[in-house]
């Protein structure tokens, strides 16, 4: 693929999409966890609240460990989830606006 292809996804867009999907899963699991805590549904065992909690923790761990720089493999999940958004990988220096 050509580096100047206007339809190509940038590294930053790819990483943001991964983080967005993981956050959506985490939020959905958190809502299910809260629902199992606050709504006492007849016939539903309290042990079922573990399932959405594990899903939430899995999404958080995915962001922390699996969102990597495609060039050097450095973990960027925590860096990109914070309040300051870098424009480059802190490990190898590749710009996040570069095409994949």
> So what's the pLDDT on residue 10?
92
What domain count does the chain have? 1
Residue 57 counted as domain residue: yes
Q: Give the pLDDT confidence of 11-66 residue by residue, as tens digits.
A: 999 999 999 999 999 999 999 988 887 877 677 677 778 899 999 999 999 999 99
DSSP string, 40-84: --TT--GGGGHHHHHHHHHHHHHHHHH-B-TTT--B-HHHHHSSS
Cα Rg for the chain, rounded, in angstroms?
A: 18
pTM for the whole structure? 0.80
SS3 37: helix
Is residue 56 in some structural domain?
Answer: yes
Structural domain range at position 52: 22-71
Is residue 66 domain-resident? Answer: yes
């Amino acid at each position: 693929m050509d580096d100047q292809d206007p339809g190509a996804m940038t590294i930053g867009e790819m990483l943001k999409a991964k983080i967005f999907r993981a956050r959506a899963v985490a939020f959905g699991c958190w809502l299910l966890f809260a629902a199992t805590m606050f709504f006492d549904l007849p016939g539903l065992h309290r042990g079922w609240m573990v399932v959405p909690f594990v899903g939430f923790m899995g999404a958080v761990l995915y962001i922390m460990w699996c969102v990597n720089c495609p060039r050097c493999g450095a973990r960027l999940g925590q860096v990109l989830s914070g309040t300051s958004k870098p424009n480059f990988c802190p490990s190898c220096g590749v710009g996040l606006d570069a095409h994949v």
